[in-house]
Structure 1
Amino acid sequence: MLGFSIYLSAAVTEEVKQQIDLYKTSGFHGVFTSLNLPEDDPEVLLDRLGELGAKCQSRQLELTVDVSQQALERLDLSLEHLSEITELGVTRLRIDDGLAMEQVAQLSHEIPLALNASTLSVENVDELRKNQADFSQIEAWHNFYPRKNTGLDENWFRRRNAWLQAQGFQVTAFAPGNELRGPVFAGLPTLESGRTKHPLAAAIDLLRLNTNNVYIGDAGVHLTTLIQFVNYFDQQIVMVHVKPNGDVPKYLFNNRLWHQRPDVARDVVRIEEARHVKRPAIYPENTELRTRGAVTLDNQDAGRYEGELELVKRELPADQTVNVIGHVVQRDLDLLEVCGAGQTIQLAWS
């Protein structure tokens, strides 16, 4: 499942509600927010939560709220009176630390819960089982890490998720957005390796590392990025935006869908169909240095490789048999690394 974040430090305006509508129609099913905002007026915070909850209910979106015991006390809310919380439209509570597993087990029969995926211990799980927790109501959610260099290590993350899933938990983690949230403005990823990545590439990385659900941690993504999410999760298409370098053969346009070959190369994404497409002769032109992201077409001097279409993943020297016909835009370069065997690819020329 895909989700996004809406923060209550600002009002839930009509613009925010339109943003929620756009995410919903784009295939996102969950919303994350936090009540751990000590600088905000409690009454204002609850009013905004109620507005957000009502909007989520109207669009059938799950609303997960990050809470702490301290935040609940400040807002004059109690886990012993859950109706006060659920009436605000909250469908899941993410509880970090500080709550006894016995109480978590009891709450799991009343409302879906999310526990801290990074700190949940074997002893915690044993306590949950001992107290007959409803494991179908409990998920494991990782944190996001605003401070640079503090995000999780990929290998540890993969092993951790495998263990959590073996205990019966669904695992959720965060990818960064395009519209970075303050006050640090360094992205809100779970993995340090995802901090500066394209949000879709970061999301795909999380899914490949034993993650069940991915949420955008930051305040939002650009419309072009949202379209890329829709293309990938609805149709399994990786769309990359390309700036042409001179005249590009017309047969490469028309929203044609290409596929990466089943034998994945180290240095380039090789397009399987390109050499077999009916096309005019390709004369040598722009046979220059192939930087990362270069889109190349082999010319007639390449012999039987004429028409070979590639997307370059790492810098390669100039080759008199290879024309550089365009460049993947900077923001989409990370998407080259997620193109696996047989991946459907769309080149969006701009």
Structure 2
Amino acid sequence: MVDIDKNLGGMGMRQLGISIYPEQAAVEEHKEYLSLAAQYGFARVFSCLISVKGNKEQVLKGFQEIMGHGRSLGMEIIADVSPEVFEDFNISYGDLKFFKDLGVSGIRLDLGFSGMEESIMTFNPYGLKIELNMSSGTKYVDNILTYHPNKENIIGCHNFYPHRYTGLSREHFTKCSKQFKDYGIRTAAFVSSKEAAFGPWPLNEGLCTLEEHRNLPIEVQGKDLFHTGLIDDVIIANAFASEDELRTLSELNKEMLTLRAVLTEGISNIERKIILDEVHFNRGDVSDYMIRSTQSRVKYKNHHFEATHIRPIRRGDILIESSLYDRYAGELQVALKDMDNSGKTNVVGRIAEEEIYLIDKIEPWHKFKFAVKK
């Protein structure tokens, strides 16, 4: 079994997660969902104690059974809590045995304490992770660190937002994420399933961290978060995601941005190889008009590239220069803006429309690949 506790605390491999809300469906349904997700390599589980209503003893019994099943699959469970949860269940921040007995691997503090309490919690004898809310934009994490916590037991996770238009802006998300990343703290954020029917609250207008993700396919949300370099773990916030969504996320290249593309019909085998088989990178001397991947022009300098697919260039097009451009022949480019075509540039493909915005995130020397859109 993978020692995920160590991965959660440090800078181990990037992980995928799902969310479980025990009061929203039958115990067996949750267990089946956990088993399915585990088959696709999902290793994290988010759950919520804040939303628990009704007979708490009965709910917690079901929670314990579900979480026990998740742990048997090698999954790590973080439960969302608040000061009210501590009060409701008569839990002291100095004694977290309640959560250990519940079967969780850690607790997420949706609302925190003064900083001292959090630091004391990190020294709990059960090795429970203390996950901090990353979305507030305050000096919360800085304050906790002044109390000299056991940093190995601190991880961070953003909020999710069920109400349309209330999710985080890119600017705020980036600022908050960097706060945690600069301290070397493991980070997580949420994506939204289009197939899932519920979250912890009655409102269901998607359940994502970044507002701009709300209507995007789940794999686009995931590859965006991983490509920021600021997020280690991506968790599906609502339940139950479909098997297709789980499979698609599991197939993501978490380390390198892979853009899906529709290739132009009739391109040459060499052009196809350049697009799909090469690892590309954006040159350091960047242009406002295009991303330039120049190694292919070196590799295929003796090949003659015919000018056969000439049309006006649109933002998101994939280009390969023909031999009419002499020393540029074979260079691959991605159009950042609409441009006139001199008659020498082949338009060999186009990035999937819903992913075109990701090309703006490709910085100098960033590596990226292409895959055929299915």
Distance in 1, Cα, partners of 2:66 & 2:78:
11
Identity within the alignment, % = 17
Distance in 2, Cα, partners of 1:5 & 1:316:
42
Counterpart of 1:200, as a letter, is: G
User: Is the partner of 1:6 in helix, strand or coil?
Assistant: strand
Q: Matched residue pairs, number?
A: 333
Pair 13,252 (structure 1): closer, same or farther in 2 beyond 3 Å? farther
Q: Which of residues 27, 32, 38 in structure 2 aligns to 1:20?
A: 38
Distance in 1, Cα, partners of 2:140 & 2:296:
56
| Corresponding position of 2:159 | 143
1:186 matched to 2:186: no
1:213 matched to 2:232: yes
1:259 matched to 2:280: yes
1:245 matched to 2:264: yes
Structure 1: where are the runs of 5+ without partners? Answer: none
Q: Which of residues 335, 344, 361 in structure 2 aligns to 1:321?
A: 344
User: Is the partner of 1:85 in helix, strand or coil?
Assistant: helix
Q: Report the alpha carbon displacement of residue 63 of structure 1 after superposing the two structures with TM.
A: 1.4
TM-score (norm 1): 0.77
CA distances 1:80-119 after superposition (whole Å, capped 9, x unpaired) = 7643432332011112226455543443322321233344
| Corresponding position of 2:290 | 268
User: Is the partner of 1:31 in helix, strand or coil?
Assistant: strand
Matches within 5 A, 1:1-350: 1-8=14-21, 9-10=24-25, 11-24=29-42, 29-38=43-52, 42=56, 45-71=59-85, 76=89, 78-79=91-92, 82-97=96-111, 99=113, 101-110=115-124, 111-119=128-136, 133-163=149-179, 170=185, 172-179=187-194, 182=198, 183-189=203-209, 191-195=210-214, 198-204=220-226, 206-207=228-229, 211=230, 213-219=232-238, 220=241, 221=245, 223-228=247-252, 231-233=253-255, 236=256, 238-253=257-272, 255-263=276-284, 264-275=286-297, 276-277=299-300, 279-285=303-309, 287-340=310-363, 341=365, 343-348=367-372, 350=374
Pair 283,347 (structure 1): closer, same or farther in 2 beyond 3 Å? same
Distance in 2, Cα, partners of 1:67 & 1:159:
24
Distance in 2, Cα, partners of 1:23 & 1:84:
29
Aligned residues of 2:48 and 2:81 also touching (Cα < 8 A):
yes
Pair 270,200 (structure 1): closer, same or farther in 2 beyond 3 Å? farther
Aligned residues of 2:31 and 2:66 also touching (Cα < 8 A):
no
Aligned residues of 2:133 and 2:159 also touching (Cα < 8 A):
yes
Q: Report the alpha carbon displacement of residue 128 of structure 1 after superposing the two structures with TM.
A: 7.5
Aligned residues of 2:135 and 2:176 also touching (Cα < 8 A):
yes
User: Is the partner of 1:87 in helix, strand or coil?
Assistant: helix
Distance in 2, Cα, partners of 1:123 & 1:347:
41
Distance in 2, Cα, partners of 1:212 & 1:53:
25
Pair 205,148 (structure 1): closer, same or farther in 2 beyond 3 Å? farther
User: Is the partner of 1:202 in helix, strand or coil?
Assistant: helix
Distance in 2, Cα, partners of 1:40 & 1:292:
53
Deviates more, 1:98-107 or 1:3-12: 98-107
Q: Report the alpha carbon displacement of residue 170 of structure 1 after superposing the two structures with TM.
A: 1.9
Pair 346,128 (structure 1): closer, same or farther in 2 beyond 3 Å? closer
User: Is the partner of 1:242 in helix, strand or coil?
Assistant: strand
Distance in 2, Cα, partners of 1:319 & 1:51:
66
Pair 316,126 (structure 1): closer, same or farther in 2 beyond 3 Å? closer
Q: Report the alpha carbon displacement of residue 249 of structure 1 after superposing the two structures with TM.
A: 1.0
Q: Report the alpha carbon displacement of residue 142 of structure 1 after superposing the two structures with TM.
A: 2.9
Pair 312,66 (structure 1): closer, same or farther in 2 beyond 3 Å? same
Q: Report the alpha carbon displacement of residue 19 of structure 1 after superposing the two structures with TM.
A: 1.3
Q: Report the alpha carbon displacement of residue 205 of structure 1 after superposing the two structures with TM.
A: 5.4
| Corresponding position of 2:11 | none
Q: Report the alpha carbon displacement of residue 345 of structure 1 after superposing the two structures with TM.
A: 1.6
Aligned residues of 2:305 and 2:321 also touching (Cα < 8 A):
no
Counterpart of 2:157, as a letter, is: W
TM-score (norm 2): 0.72
Counterpart of 1:332, as a letter, is: E
Structure 2: where are the runs of 5+ without partners? Answer: 1-13
Q: Report the alpha carbon displacement of residue 66 of structure 1 after superposing the two structures with TM.
A: 0.3
Pair 35,20 (structure 1): closer, same or farther in 2 beyond 3 Å? farther
User: Is the partner of 1:314 in helix, strand or coil?
Assistant: coil
